[in-house]
Amino acid sequence: MSALAARLRQLRTQSGQASAVALPKPTLAPDVLRLIQGRSRMQGVTQRASSSDRFVPGVEIAPGLFFTEATMDWGCPSPMIDTAFARWQEPVAYDRLLHFDTETTGLAGGTGTRAWMIGAADWLTDGRFRVRQLTTTTMGAETAMLRTFAQWLEPDTVLVSYNGKSYDSPLLKTRYRMARLPDPLSGLGHLDLLHPVRRHWKGVWENCRLATAERELLGVVREDDLPGSEAPAAWLSYLRGGSAVNLRRVLVHNNQDLKSLAGVLLHLARLNYS
């Protein structure tokens, strides 16, 4: 019996070795592997507790899309804005200008970056300055936001931005294309204030960021301002059930960006280019 038992053990061992050699390691398709890895990472993240402070300012004009509007006295624009600072030949009527700024999910751009807030400001015919902001609180509200913003643009609108030609405008064009919507920005005039500011003050100031331009030219010093680099985290935290405190701070930050855009524009327009 001992010899038979030893023989059986030997056969089992040989069978196990043969099976180990004969069965190759399973291979997974790359997309399946990424899905499994992504699920593992999500399961390893502690779920954020929901916050009781979920208040987003404004009126919900579509599911997950909030709209705010405010008018104020801001700047004293001439009927025609001198655009020689941008090397344009003709002045532009002040009520054709639309200052705009986006808050996005990242700074890299590309198809993976989306705009979750669009702020726009213009002077009304009575000279009052109007600030309008669109804030999405769900992923699915982006299309409604893009449609609403398109309604604010006319064929003769002149856009005003700070680095918008390189970042905000291309990003929005991509988002309109991804949403299969017509691109309302194509063909519009665009005054990007970053470039004339650099021509005048590069090497004079420490940098030519908007925060520096508003401080040097307008005397604006922000207090308790949420840096633009933290805006993506503020929105993503809210989507996960977090507090709306930083989301509201982004609204304040965006509002000041728009007012500073208008102030810097008027300062540049009053420079002597003769």
Q: What is the pLDDT of residues 70-86, one digit of tens each?
A: 999 998 899 999 999 99
> Is the model's pLDDT at 257 over the cut of 70?
yes
CB 85 within 8 A of CB 271: yes
> Is the model's pLDDT at 91 over the cut of 50?
yes
Rounded Cα–Cα distance for residues 230 and 247 (Å): 10
Across the range 111-134, mean pLDDT stands at 93
pTM of the model: 0.80
Q: Residue 95: what pLDDT? A: 95
Q: What is the pLDDT of residues 46-60, one digit of tens each?
A: 345 578 999 999 999
- The pLDDT-based confidence of 45 (bands split at 50, 70, 90) is very low
Across the range 39-50, mean pLDDT stands at 45
- The pLDDT-based confidence of 273 (bands split at 50, 70, 90) is low
Q: Residues near 77 by Cβ (< 8 Å), separated by ≥ 6?
A: 94, 123, 127, 266
Q: Residues near 270 by Cβ (< 8 Å), separated by ≥ 6?
A: 82
CB 117 within 8 A of CB 134: yes
> Is the model's pLDDT at 29 over the cut of 90?
no
> Is the model's pLDDT at 43 over the cut of 80?
no
Q: Mean pLDDT check: name the lowest of 7-16, 89-98, 137-146.
A: 7-16
Q: In 10 A of CB 130, how many CB atoms?
A: 15
- Segment of 1-5, 227-231, 261-265 carrying the highest mean pLDDT: 261-265
> Is the model's pLDDT at 135 over the cut of 90?
yes
Task: List, in sequence order, every residue forming a beta bridge with 153; answer none if it has no partner.
Answer: none
Q: Residues near 267 by Cβ (< 8 Å), separated by ≥ 6?
A: 217, 218
Q: Mean pLDDT check: name the lowest of 89-103, 170-184, 225-239.
A: 225-239
Task: List, in sequence order, every residue forming a beta bridge with 159; answer none if it has no partner.
Answer: 98, 190
